[in-house]
């Protein structure tokens, strides 16, 4: 068998990157080499200073290059995690623009990395996947990007994965593209990973697993709430969509969540508001409107009752 020319991967690490996402990216490549008996893949790490970078769990990785000296490679993935919206990434974006302009390298992103690519304008007009925690933030700040809830997107020029084990799904997909389904399946077997997902699989936190619920009406009611945070609907409207009475809806929320539908809906809206205040530069009134509040004053009063601080005080804590 003719020896394959190794494909070179570079992972551009941003401070507080998610170690799990990186591990789920690198280990399938390592295992592909092991199973095939060939060096199919090589990989290296890049950081802003070319020395090292720290993950959100405190792990420090040695870097092989700086962003300014990223070597020729087949694929380049930006890997980030916490607080990505507050990072200074001019050196990274300059390097990505230069590489995109002068090389055939495929540029992509893992976990929250899609946010950084969006900041650089790379994802305009494209579909992109990002960790569910940042989905609302991405949609608010970059409406020109078609942010989807897929576990990964591989059909665009810049491929993205939503992080965690979704990164392994993407790598198994790329291994299959490069070397066939049999090797990809063998790698998955070595990982004891027998449920690899297609790109179109939805990335979401299961309401059933999060709340221990097994009631389809309750699950659907919460989905309706999540889809209408900007223009909230009443419990009566939700009940009508489920073809049950408002009283039945009240009983379901009381039994499983120890809350009324109205109270639970408000908690969802405030949770989104807190994320937008912490993770975006949107004004307080813009956050209020995005979460279904028609006046900044009402929003501020409800927010302070819930969190003990006003929206402006919440934002001030970033400093």
Let me know if 297 is exposed, middle or buried by CB neighbors in 10 A (0-12, 13-18, 19+).
exposed
pLDDT for position 287: 93
Tell me how far apart the alpha carbons of residues 190 and 269 are, in angstroms, rounded to a whole number.
Answer: 43
Altogether, the residues listed in the chain come to a count of 319
Are 173 and 140 contacting, i.e. CB atoms less than 8 angstroms apart? no
Domain 7-190, second-level architecture: 3-Layer(aba) Sandwich (3.40)
DSSP state of 112: T
pLDDT at 62: 96
Q: What is the pLDDT of residues 217-248, one digit of tens each?
A: 988 999 999 999 999 999 999 999 999 999 99
Alpha carbon dihedral 125, 132, 9, 190, in 10-degree steps, equals -140
Q: Determine the angle formed by the axes of helices 246-257 and 235-242, rounding to 10 degrees.
A: 100
List residues bridging with 213 in a β-sheet.
Answer: none
Q: So what's the pLDDT on residue 2? A: 57
The third-level CATH classification (topology) of the domain covering 207-316 is Arc Repressor Mutant, subunit A (1.10.10)
123 is written with which tokens?
Answer: 């994802």
Where the chain has pLDDT below 50, the residues are: 1, 204-206, 208-210, 212, 318-319
Fold agreement between 7-190 and 207-316: no
Helices 261-279 and 246-257 sit at what angle, rounded to 10 degrees? 60
pLDDT of residue 85: 83
User: Residue 299 has what pLDDT?
Assistant: 94
Host H or E run for residue 173: helix 165-179
pTM value is 0.68
**What beta strand segments (E) does the chain contain?**
7-13, 41-47, 52-54, 60-62, 65-66, 75-80, 106-111, 127-129, 146-148, 152-153, 160-161
- Residue 6, by phi and psi: left (phi above 0), alpha (psi -120 to 50) or beta? beta
Domain residue ranges in the chain: 7-190, 207-316
Would you state the pLDDT for residue 203?
54
pLDDT, residue 1, reads 46
């Amino acid at each position: 068998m003719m020896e394959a020319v190794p494909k070179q991967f570079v992972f551009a690490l941003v401070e507080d990157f998610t170690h799990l996402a990186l591990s789920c990216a690198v280990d399938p490549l390592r295992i592909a080499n092991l199973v095939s008996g060939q060096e199919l893949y090589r990989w290296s790490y890049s950081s802003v200073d070319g020395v090292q970078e720290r993950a959100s769990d405190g792990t420090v990785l040695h870097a092989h290059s700086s962003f300014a000296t990223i070597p020729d490679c087949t694929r380049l993935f930006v890997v980030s995690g916490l607080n990505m919206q507050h990072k200074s990434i001019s050196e990274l974006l300059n390097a990505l623009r230069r590489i995109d302009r002068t090389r055939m390298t495929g540029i992509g992103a893992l976990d929250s990395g899609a946010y950084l690519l969006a900041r650089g304008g790379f994802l305009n007009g494209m579909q992109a996947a990002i960790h569910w925690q940042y989905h609302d933030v991405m949609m608010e700040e970059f409406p020109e990007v078609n942010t989807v809830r897929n576990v990964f997107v591989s059909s665009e020029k810049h491929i993205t994965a939503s992080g965690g084990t979704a990164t392994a799904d993407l790598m198994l997909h790329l291994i299959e593209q490069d070397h066939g389904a049999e090797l990809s399946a063998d790698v998955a077997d070595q990982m004891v990973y027998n449920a690899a997902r297609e790109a179109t699989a939805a990335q979401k936190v299961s309401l059933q697993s999060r709340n221990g619920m097994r009631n389809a009406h309750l699950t659907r009611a919460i989905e309706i709430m999540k889809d209408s945070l900007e223009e909230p609907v009443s419990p009566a409207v939700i009940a009508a969509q489920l073809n049950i009475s408002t009283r039945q809806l009240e009983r379901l929320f009381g039994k499983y969540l120890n809350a009324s539908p109205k109270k639970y809906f408000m908690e969802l809206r405030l949770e989104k508001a807190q994320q937008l205040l912490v993770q975006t530069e949107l004004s307080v009134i813009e956050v209020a409107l995005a979460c279904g509040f028609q006046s900044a004053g009402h929003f501020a009063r409800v927010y302070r009752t819930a969190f003990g601080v006003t929206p402006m005080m919440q934002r001030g804590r970033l400093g």
